Structure 1
Amino acid sequence: MKTSDFHYELPPELIAQTPLQRRDASRLMQLNKITGAIAHRHFYELPTLLREGDCLVLNDSRVLPARLFGRRLTGGAVEVVLLRDRGDGVWECLTRPGRKTKTGTQLFFGDDTLSAVVEDEIEGGNRLIRFHYDGIFLEALERLGKMPLPPYIHEELGDAERYQTVYSRVTGSAAAPTAGLHFTKALLREIENSGVIVKYVTLHVGLGTFRPVKAENIEDHEMHAEYCEIPEETAAAVSSAKTEGRRVVSVGTTSCRTLESRALEDGAVKSFSGFTNAFIYPGYRFKCVDALITNFHLPESTLLMLVSALAGRENILHAYEEAVRERYRFFSFGDAMLIE
């Protein structure tokens, strides 16, 4: 299949620039993956759409305030976005301006309590940067860093917690697992009280999520790797659900990729910690995930290809056309879809 097979037209004004005041007030499109039938609902109705015994799996990764603004030793401004912890104080980073951050460049942030040096330039134009600081690095980031919002969001975020899920726990993402932004703690309690089993995985979202697919044929695209974990408790709950014929409902493409990366032929999963570069596109046979809660994704993106694999490309593109007609809000701060 070609990348252009996943194109659709989106009016720019439908790209949500800010989150809604109430998280679960977003709209929710319900899509039947077999028939393509569509229903228009709101996210707060989700407890009535899930079934008793469903296993709902969410990604508990927390976004790093990974965007740092500083200066070079010469005084020139620099922007650094942390992408991946390489250990021992070294991070793989995106830098701007890249031509001014050659190997050996010294960097300083805030009141200079956080400093760094560029150790290497690696494939893809990223840098390996060693940071020097007193105390706890994450505390320095919380004080000096900003949220690395997607490039299509042009407005400042008033409350940084609105780019975190209410259940975020494990810090490490460069972008939010946005399908989870619609949940409130009260909604999660209501879901659990209705007999749904709620479990968590971790996948640290990388900025590769926003990189366009440049290959003409999607099979030629090289998927970025991201760190993920499936706890034993989650693996056991998911495996029991599959054995007993109950649904596994993934919240977000990140949870979906994590589960499918370790799924056996019968749908059971094993506990795991490591990296996944799973690329799911039409033709893929889902072994574990039965239903998916997700946002509306960019044209020609790997995320759009994943949902097309689950529901069929024609069903998805028809649903997106309907969403445009109905003026749904798109992308990270936008509305949601339940594919079942």
Structure 2
Amino acid sequence: MMSIHAMNFYLPDDLNATTPPERRGIRRDHVRLMVINKENGSTEHTHFHHLADYLNKGDLIVLNASRTVPAVLKGKWMDGKAEKEIEIRLAHRKSENIWEALIVGETLRVGEKIYFSPVFQAIVTHADPEFPFVSLQFNLCCSELYNQIYSLGQPVRYEYINQPWDLDYYQTVFASSPGSVEMPSAGRAFSWELLFQLQKKGVQIAYIQLHTGLSYLLDDKWHIGPRENFEEYHIPEETAIAIQKTKKAGGRIIAVGTTVVRTLETAAMEDGDIKACSGWTNLYIQQDTELKVADGLITGLHEPEASHLDLLSAFVDQPILYRAYQEAIEKKYLWHEFGDMNLII
């Protein structure tokens, strides 16, 4: 998604990470890490498995436990009397058997059916020519629906990825709750070994879920701004309690990913307290947003003019962020979900 307050820069094509780290011969937790000090603007360059060196006993890391679903499905539909192949991309789960979805290259009307297999089909229940997504009601629900999606689907792949990679490369090691159609990629660099190392130091770990929606819409005629992107979230009781205790004890809340920041700040009360809750958020965070919960951020490197950069500027002044990104480009950091990492603290 494009930024409302665009931070623009030139990103050379060779800095787009087209290959998972594991296929480049390094472990997922051995990608590079740029550390930005949000107080003085200084930067350090290290590797992600040294993350514990920058966190303190009593800090709390909050991770997004949403699991990536293979959101690209291919099926057949009847265009008049002719059977045609069709591709859909799941966008948002609305209920146990209804999803918003992008129909690729075709226009379907309410009542039309898509057949994915002899036992798996969907019917269009809502369509609006001014809106990129239709509503699809599937003939299955719950675990049966997910079983079919995981059996037949492929992960969403961006234009800079030049070959298909298995779904496992689009999962974090701790993902548990299926629902994201694009990987919550900030958590990808964590390994269980690193998580145990952090806990051994006294850094606590907690989880939320935010199911990411579809932002890559393939066609330039569609543009969904940050405020139009509603995503489902859940904060468990144990996470809310852990955040409250950490704050009271003077520890820092380190959000892993923009999804976690948006979830925590959506649920935050005026005094920064937080309670267990579920809902939908379209919260847009920018440089003048006062963050009530998150003290630091672990994230990937974001493309020019991306709305995620507006969120980062709530943690660190945009001139500092711009200089750090120029430094990352000079040092040949890799961008996107298979690339290197950034800690702002």
Q: Using the TM superposition, give the Cα deviation of residue 312 of structure 1 relative to its aligned residue in structure 2, in angstroms.
A: 1.1
CA distance in 2, matches of 1:86, 1:274: 11
Q: Tell me: CA distance 1:223–1:133, structure 2 relative to 1, closer, same or farther (3 Å).
A: closer
Aligned residue in 2 for 1:7: 8
Aligned residue in 1 for 2:124: 118
Contact 2:77 2:83 in 1 (8 A): yes
Aligned residue in 2 for 1:329: 334
Matched, 1:208 2:209: no
Contact 2:66 2:209 in 1 (8 A): yes
- Counterpart of 2:98 (choices 65, 90, 102) is 90
Gap runs ≥5 in structure 2? none
SS of residue matched to 1:239? helix
State the AA in 1 paired with 2:16: I
State the AA in 2 paired with 1:12: D
SS of residue matched to 1:6? coil
Q: Tell me: CA distance 1:286–1:301, structure 2 relative to 1, closer, same or farther (3 Å).
A: same
Q: Tell me: CA distance 1:36–1:88, structure 2 relative to 1, closer, same or farther (3 Å).
A: closer
Contact 2:226 2:282 in 1 (8 A): no
Gap runs ≥5 in structure 1? 215-219
Indicate the RMSD between aligned Cα atoms, in angstroms. 2.1
State the AA in 2 paired with 1:113: V
Q: Using the TM superposition, give the Cα deviation of residue 3 of structure 1 relative to its aligned residue in structure 2, in angstroms.
A: 3.9
SS of residue matched to 1:200? strand
Matched, 1:312 2:304: no
Q: Using the TM superposition, give the Cα deviation of residue 104 of structure 1 relative to its aligned residue in structure 2, in angstroms.
A: 2.7
State the AA in 1 paired with 2:300: N
CA distance in 1, matches of 2:301, 2:10: 13
Matched, 1:292 2:297: yes
CA distance in 1, matches of 2:328, 2:14: 13
User: What is the TM-score normalised by the length of structure 1?
Assistant: 0.92
Contact 1:150 1:175 in 2 (8 A): no
- For each residue in 1:163-214, what CA deviation from the matched residue of structure 2 results, as whole angstroms up to 9, or x when unmatched? 0000000101111110100011111111111101100011001113789999
State the AA in 2 paired with 1:173: S
Matched, 1:16 2:23: no
- For each residue in 1:95-147, what CA deviation from the matched residue of structure 2 results, as whole angstroms up to 9, or x when unmatched? 11233x232322111x4321222222135221111222498111111111111
Q: Tell me: CA distance 1:210–1:88, structure 2 relative to 1, closer, same or farther (3 Å).
A: closer
SS of residue matched to 2:299? strand
1:36-75 to 2 correspondences below 5 Å: 36-73=41-78, 74-75=82-83
State the AA in 2 paired with 1:253: T
SS of residue matched to 1:116? strand
- For each residue in 1:250-279, what CA deviation from the matched residue of structure 2 results, as whole angstroms up to 9, or x when unmatched? 111111111111122332211110011110
CA distance in 2, matches of 1:227, 1:211: 23
Aligned residue in 1 for 2:248: 243
CA distance in 1, matches of 2:218, 2:299: 19
67-76 vs 9-18, which deviates more?
Answer: 67-76
CA distance in 2, matches of 1:221, 1:256: 14
Q: Tell me: CA distance 1:278–1:133, structure 2 relative to 1, closer, same or farther (3 Å).
A: closer
147-156 vs 164-173, which deviates more?
Answer: 147-156
Q: Tell me: CA distance 1:337–1:14, structure 2 relative to 1, closer, same or farther (3 Å).
A: same
State the AA in 1 paired with 2:317: G
Aligned residue in 1 for 2:36: 31
Q: Tell me: CA distance 1:211–1:314, structure 2 relative to 1, closer, same or farther (3 Å).
A: farther
CA distance in 2, matches of 1:47, 1:121: 49
- Counterpart of 2:196 (choices 181, 186, 189) is 189
Q: Tell me: CA distance 1:146–1:213, structure 2 relative to 1, closer, same or farther (3 Å).
A: closer
78-87 vs 177-186, which deviates more?
Answer: 78-87
Contact 2:30 2:47 in 1 (8 A): yes
CA distance in 1, matches of 2:91, 2:167: 18
Q: Using the TM superposition, give the Cα deviation of residue 68 of structure 1 relative to its aligned residue in structure 2, in angstroms.
A: 0.2
- For each residue in 1:258-302, what CA deviation from the matched residue of structure 2 results, as whole angstroms up to 9, or x when unmatched? 111112233221111001111000111111111110001121111
CA distance in 1, matches of 2:126, 2:161: 30
CA distance in 2, matches of 1:250, 1:221: 19
Q: Tell me: CA distance 1:212–1:205, structure 2 relative to 1, closer, same or farther (3 Å).
A: farther
CA distance in 1, matches of 2:119, 2:217: 31
Q: Tell me: CA distance 1:221–1:113, structure 2 relative to 1, closer, same or farther (3 Å).
A: closer
CA distance in 2, matches of 1:166, 1:213: 34
Q: Using the TM superposition, give the Cα deviation of residue 149 of structure 1 relative to its aligned residue in structure 2, in angstroms.
A: 2.6
SS of residue matched to 1:17? coil
Contact 1:238 1:269 in 2 (8 A): yes
Q: Tell me: CA distance 1:91–1:208, structure 2 relative to 1, closer, same or farther (3 Å).
A: same
